[in-house]
């Protein structure tokens, strides 16, 4: 049983100790549902292993505070262990420390200044088709309705606005097969693919400013496949390219850009996820940045589920105590001081007191 009366660091350790690799979240989802379901000020709903707990106070504004409860596979890093002010364990940074903050807020704040929907969802660390927030958005969009959302992804305690989009394409070079002893009778597709690499080497990523935040794009080869046999000139070579694009572009514009860059080659989109604009000019977002971030925010350079919230018309930011550079590592840990600070700032914001008074 989770102890929501414990301090947020102890609660983080309890969460880490309940193994919840993607697809195996049920024991943790059961524990969260049991604890929140006993609180009179919350209405708790469940879909699969996703839990949504909502206040129903009739406030003028509703905010969503969301986090995923799954982790990557365990590598001898469960149960948790504490070393001074660091808590080690699978998911400590990504993102059970953020989930601990959510649970403490849900437990300790029966009458927040805004109505709050606390969302705990499954399968974020695996294929997008399995993502619990995606499923909720499809099957229960009203459960995610709000004026503003905070995704408690690891950000090291900084507020990160929006997120970049991501697209993967296969760029295929064609040649003509021949015996390698008579190479002049064919055309080597792997050699032809060198022109794709030339484009990538010469490419200067954009650093556009979007709503006051500076994003840094990236365009990189991530796979190369080609070849038939050790004595055959290959007639096909494919380079998989990943484009991380800023939220001033739509996926359609990103695809057009890539097709123009690789003109003369076959280009096939294999995966894409849209970006999210920062939306920090929304009154609820601006209030959050002033209260929890001291007036400062930076761009999110990866992709997160803020994009899903944006598609629902809910502006969202990333804010959590974990360190994103430690996510998915064997020695993953979280600084407990940052977890305490995140709880303080979130409590100040949701109570209407401001972080300094929390």
Mapping DSSP onto H, E and C, the string for the chain reads CCCCCCCHHHHHHHHHHCCCECCCCHHHHHHHHHHHHCCCCCEEEEECCEEEEECCCCCCCEEEEEEECCECCCCCCCCCEEECCEEECCCHHHHHHHHHHHHHHHHHCCCCCCEEEEEEECCCCCCHHHCHHHHHHHHCHHHHCCCEEEECCCCCCCCEECECEEEEEEEEEECECEEHHHHHHCECHHHHCHHHHHHHHHCCCCCCEECCEECCCEEEEEEEEECCCCCEECCEEEEEEEEEECCCCCHHHHHHHHHHHCCCCEEEEEEEECCECCCCCCHHHHHHHHHHHCCCCEECCCCCCHHHHHHCCCCEEECCCCCHHHCCCCCCEEEHHHHHHHHHHHHHHHHCCCHHHC
Is there a single domain that holds both residue 268 and residue 284?
Answer: no
CATH of the domain at 243: 3.30.70.360
Q: What distance in Å separates the CA atoms of residue 317 and residue 64, rounded to the nearest whole number?
A: 11
| Inside any domain, residue 43 | yes
| Inside any domain, residue 97 | yes
Domain that holds residue 68: 8-162+276-357
Residues 6+ apart with CB under 8 A from 195: 173, 264, 265
Is there a single domain that holds both residue 285 and residue 155?
Answer: yes
Is there a single domain that holds both residue 284 and residue 295?
Answer: yes
| Inside any domain, residue 2 | no
Catalytic residues: 70, 124
147 touches 63 (CB < 8 A): yes
Is there a single domain that holds both residue 135 and residue 246?
Answer: no
Closest CA to 317 of 278, 286, 355: 278
Last residue of a domain, one of 230, 245, 273: 273
Last residue of a domain, one of 216, 251, 273: 273
Is there a single domain that holds both residue 297 and residue 222?
Answer: no
Q: What distance in Å separates the CA atoms of residue 25 and residue 63, rounded to the nearest whole number?
A: 25
pLDDT in tens, 180-202: 999 999 999 999 999 999 999 99
Query: What tens-digit pLDDT sequence spans the chain (358 residues)?
Result: 799 999 999 999 999 999 999 999 999 999 999 999 999 999 999 999 999 999 999 999 999 999 999 999 999 999 999 999 999 999 999 999 999 999 999 999 999 999 999 999 999 998 888 999 999 999 999 999 999 999 999 999 999 999 999 999 999 999 999 999 999 999 999 999 999 999 999 999 999 999 999 999 999 999 999 999 999 999 999 999 999 999 999 999 999 999 999 999 999 999 998 999 888 888 888 889 888 877 789 999 888 999 999 889 998 999 999 999 999 999 999 999 999 999 999 999 999 875 434 3
CATH of the domain at 95: 3.40.630.10
Is there a single domain that holds both residue 189 and residue 299?
Answer: no
Is there a single domain that holds both residue 263 and residue 281?
Answer: no
Q: What is the number of structural domains in the chain?
A: 2
Burial classification of residue 310, based on how many CB atoms lie within 10 Å of its CB (0-12 exposed, 13-18 middle, 19 or more buried): buried
Last residue of a domain, one of 244, 273, 302: 273
pLDDT in tens, 120-155: 999 999 888 899 999 999 999 999 999 999 999 999
| Inside any domain, residue 3 | no
Is there a single domain that holds both residue 155 and residue 170?
Answer: no
Is there a single domain that holds both residue 95 and residue 214?
Answer: no
C-alpha distances in Å from residue 153, one per residue of 102, 268, 270, 302: 11, 31, 26, 11
Is there a single domain that holds both residue 311 and residue 175?
Answer: no
Phi, psi of 167, rounded to the nearest 5 degrees: -145, 135
Strand order in the sheet with 148-151: 43-47, 50-54, 115-121, 62-68, 148-151, 316-318, 160-161, 298-299
- Rounded (10°) CA dihedral 53, 58, 61, 65: -10
Is there a single domain that holds both residue 81 and residue 155?
Answer: yes
pLDDT in tens, 325-356: 999 999 999 999 999 999 999 999 999 875 43
Q: What distance in Å separates the CA atoms of residue 318 and residue 66, rounded to the nearest whole number?
A: 10
On average, the pLDDT of the chain sits at: 94
Residues 6+ apart with CB under 8 A from 305: 66, 68, 124, 131, 133, 151, 153
| Inside any domain, residue 73 | yes
Q: How many CA atoms lie within 13 A of 95 on its CB side?
A: 29
């Amino acid at each position: 049983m989770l102890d929501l009366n414990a301090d947020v660091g102890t609660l983080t350790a309890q969460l880490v100790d309940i193994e919840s690799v993607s697809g195996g979240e049920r024991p943790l989802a059961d524990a969260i549902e049991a604890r929140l379901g006993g609180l009179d000020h919350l209405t708790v709903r469940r879909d699969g292993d996703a839990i949504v707990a909502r206040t129903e106070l009739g406030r003028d504004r509703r905010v969503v505070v969301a986090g995923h409860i799954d982790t990557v596979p365990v590598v001898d890093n469960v149960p948790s262990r504490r070393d001074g002010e660091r808590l080690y364990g699978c998911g400590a940074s990504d993102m059970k420390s953020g989930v601990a903050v959510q649970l403490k807020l849900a437990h300790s704040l029966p009458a927040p200044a805004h109505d709050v929907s606390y969302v705990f969802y499954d399968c974020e660390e695996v294929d997008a088709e399995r993502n619990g927030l995606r499923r909720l958005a499809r099957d229960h969009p009203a459960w995610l309705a709000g004026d503003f959302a905070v995704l408690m992804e690891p950000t090291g305690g900084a507020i990160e606005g929006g997120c970049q989009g991501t697209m993967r394409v296969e760029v295929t070079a064609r040649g003509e097969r021949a015996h390698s002893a008579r190479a002049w009778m064919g055309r080597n597709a792997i050699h032809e693919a060198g022109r794709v690499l030339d484009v990538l080497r010469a490419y200067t990523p954009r650093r556009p400013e979007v709503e006051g935040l500076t994003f840094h794009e990236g365009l990189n080869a991530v796979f190369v496949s080609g070849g038939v046999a050790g004595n055959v000139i290959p007639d096909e070579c494919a380079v998989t390219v990943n484009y991380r694009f800023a939220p001033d572009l739509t996926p359609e514009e990103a695809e057009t850009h890539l097709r123009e860059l690789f003109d003369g080659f076959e280009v096939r989109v294999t995966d894409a996820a849209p970006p999210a604009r920062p939306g920090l000019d929304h009154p609820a977002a601006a209030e959050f940045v002033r209260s929890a971030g001291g007036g400062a925010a930076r761009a999110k350079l990866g992709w997160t589920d803020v994009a899903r919230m944006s598609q629902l018309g809910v502006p969202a930011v990333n804010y959590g105590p974990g360190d994103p550079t430690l996510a998915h590592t064997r020695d993953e840990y979280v600084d407990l001081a940052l977890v305490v600070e995140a709880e303080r700032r979130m409590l100040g914001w949701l109570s209407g007191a401001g972080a300094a008074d929390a």
